């Protein structure tokens, strides 16, 4: 009982470390989405205006998207929103 704070619920103790873990993950995920958006925009712009596409832009986009999904997976799982039972129509 020495490692737990007296009078503080366990859920509140877990919330403190979750904020420290989730905040950088959310920022990194948002940054990856903006990089992905900039890559796609610049590839389309260079392709249409100068006929010079970015070499491997589709591959880079796939890698960035997989990193964004992997980073956000922790937040989704910890909130319990990944698997939700949907009632089937009868």
Does residue 3 belong to any structural domain of this protein?
Answer: no
Residue 88 lies in a domain: no
In a domain, 85, yes or no: no
In a domain, 2, yes or no: no
Query: Which of 4 and 88 is assigned the larger pLDDT?
Result: 88
pTM > 0.85: yes or no: no
DSSP string, 49-82: HTS-PPTTHHHHHHHHHHHHHHHHHHHHHHHT-S
pLDDT digits (tens, 9 = 90+) for 25-36: 889 989 999 999
The domain of 60 spans 11-79
* Domain membership flag for residue 90: no
Q: What does the pLDDT look like over 65-86, one tens digit per residue?
A: 999 989 888 777 776 656 666 6
Whether 30 is in a domain gets the answer yes
Assess contact for 39 and 64: CB atoms under 8 A.
yes
Is 49 within a domain? Answer: yes
Q: Total domain count for the chain?
A: 1
> What integer best gives the mean pLDDT of the chain?
81
Residue 72, token pair as written in the block: 């956000």
């Amino acid at each position: 009982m020495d490692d737990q704070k007296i009078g503080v619920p366990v859920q509140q103790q877990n919330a403190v470390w979750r904020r420290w873990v989730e905040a950088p993950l959310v920022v990194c995920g948002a940054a990856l989405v903006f990089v992905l958006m900039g890559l796609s925009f610049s590839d389309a712009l260079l392709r249409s205006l100068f006929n010079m596409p970015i070499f491997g832009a589709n591959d880079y986009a796939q890698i960035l998207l997989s990193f964004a999904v992997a980073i956000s997976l922790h937040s989704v799982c910890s909130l319990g929103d990944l698997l939700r039972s949907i009632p089937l129509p009868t």
